[in-house]
Homo-oligomer: A and B are copies of this chain.
């Protein structure tokens, strides 16, 4: 499979770059942060992005989507990473859409996907319970009632949990037989949402479910069989997030290299110092590897490859480690200026740390890759 994006994908990428440059530069994230916006994202901007079709790139045409494929979707994510756009893209489109699309029945797809596509609802996965990413360790419990189910438990690090219209909740029965997925209206009685601001100025929430009633149609897939859908959606999200991180990494690197060419010390441009040149060259190489892993992984989603879990872990770990390196080197090479809030390079470092832990950090994925590979 050719590892160069095609003309159509390139057009999408170019238009995304242009749009984001104008509508959502890094400065926009700063404003959002400093305004203490209760939503934590720009709803108007999200509307515009949906109008451009970005919320529906991975939704089948039958449900009002563009079905553009993930290689194309990845280009938009990459550009979003370049300007650090705070949006519900990851929570709603990467995770939410994937679970409904791969795990839901026709009725559920008809109910939710068109509304996601047009940007009118946000759907967020509530799965984490321990402090680190352990998606398959679930103790939130569901039980049968007369007319449906009842859910109780506490979920943390629910991305965009404070603005979500629906939660997809991972649950288990009393005997812990596999995972069962439910989609729940966020306004249901018994749900408490506590907003948390993260270091990247985005939101996550602690969401508590206290005997929340769900109708029978709220179960996604079969009882106790949600693991597979969850893992597939997470693998897709890991790869999609890696594409976003790749964009951040490239932007942070470009800015650092530009700074090296401009900043003078001891009478010369610091970009002439060989030690810094070699560090920059080394980063260039690592970034090239990330680029290749990301496009291969995006293709693996599109071709429904059985290697998907491997690709997801390889990519997320390499990208996570490299983004950490590049953002650290960015601050160090910007020097004192890099330490100030006025300079934007720090925003990349902060986003890197949150993205790194979202859906598993590089430790998690190195370990998972080794386990998947049988060693």
Q: How far is the CB of A261 from chain B (nearest CB, A)?
A: 17
Q: What is the copy number of this chain in the assembly?
A: 2
Q: How far is the CB of A310 from chain B (nearest CB, A)?
A: 24
The interface residues of chain B lying within 8 Å CB-to-CB of A277 are 275
The interface residues of chain B lying within 8 Å CB-to-CB of A274 are 273-275
CA distance A203 to B20 in the complex (A): 67
Interface of A is mostly: helix
When each residue 243-279 of chain A gets 1 if its CB lies under 8 Å from chain B and 0 otherwise, what string results?
0000000000000000000000000000001110110
CA distance A277 to B275 in the complex (A): 8
CB-based nearest B residue for A273: B274
Residues of A270-308 at the interface with B, using a CB-CB cut-off of 8 Å, are: 273-275, 277-278
Q: How far is the CB of A143 from chain B (nearest CB, A)?
A: 38
Interface centre among A273, A275, A277, by most B CB within 10 Å?
A275
CA distance A274 to B272 in the complex (A): 10
The interface residues of chain B lying within 8 Å CB-to-CB of A278 are 275
* 6 A-B interface contacts by CB (under 8 A): A273-B274, A274-B274, A274-B275, A275-B275, A275-B277, A275-B278
CA distance A277 to B276 in the complex (A): 12
CA distance A273 to B273 in the complex (A): 9
CA distance A259 to B242 in the complex (A): 44
CA distance A274 to B280 in the complex (A): 14
The interface residues of chain B lying within 8 Å CB-to-CB of A273 are 274
CA distance A274 to B273 in the complex (A): 7
CA distance A273 to B275 in the complex (A): 8
CA distance A277 to B273 in the complex (A): 11
CB-based nearest B residue for A281: B275
CA distance A284 to B275 in the complex (A): 16
The interface residues of chain B lying within 8 Å CB-to-CB of A275 are 274-275, 277-278
Residues of A294-339 at the interface with B, using a CB-CB cut-off of 8 Å, are: none
CA distance A275 to B277 in the complex (A): 8
Q: How far is the CB of A333 from chain B (nearest CB, A)?
A: 14
CA distance A277 to B274 in the complex (A): 10
When each residue 184-206 of chain A gets 1 if its CB lies under 8 Å from chain B and 0 otherwise, what string results?
00000000000000000000000
CA distance A278 to B278 in the complex (A): 11
Q: How far is the CB of A332 from chain B (nearest CB, A)?
A: 13
CB-based nearest B residue for A272: B274
Q: How far is the CB of A375 from chain B (nearest CB, A)?
A: 14
Q: How far is the CB of A132 from chain B (nearest CB, A)?
A: 16
CA distance A274 to B275 in the complex (A): 5
Q: How far is the CB of A305 from chain B (nearest CB, A)?
A: 33
Closest 6 CB pairs of A and B: A274-B274, A274-B275, A275-B278, A275-B275, A273-B274, A275-B277
CB-based nearest B residue for A278: B275
CA distance A274 to B268 in the complex (A): 14
CA distance A215 to B273 in the complex (A): 71
CA distance A273 to B278 in the complex (A): 11
CA distance A253 to B268 in the complex (A): 31
CA distance A103 to B278 in the complex (A): 54
CA distance A24 to B214 in the complex (A): 83
CA distance A69 to B274 in the complex (A): 47
CA distance A126 to B334 in the complex (A): 57
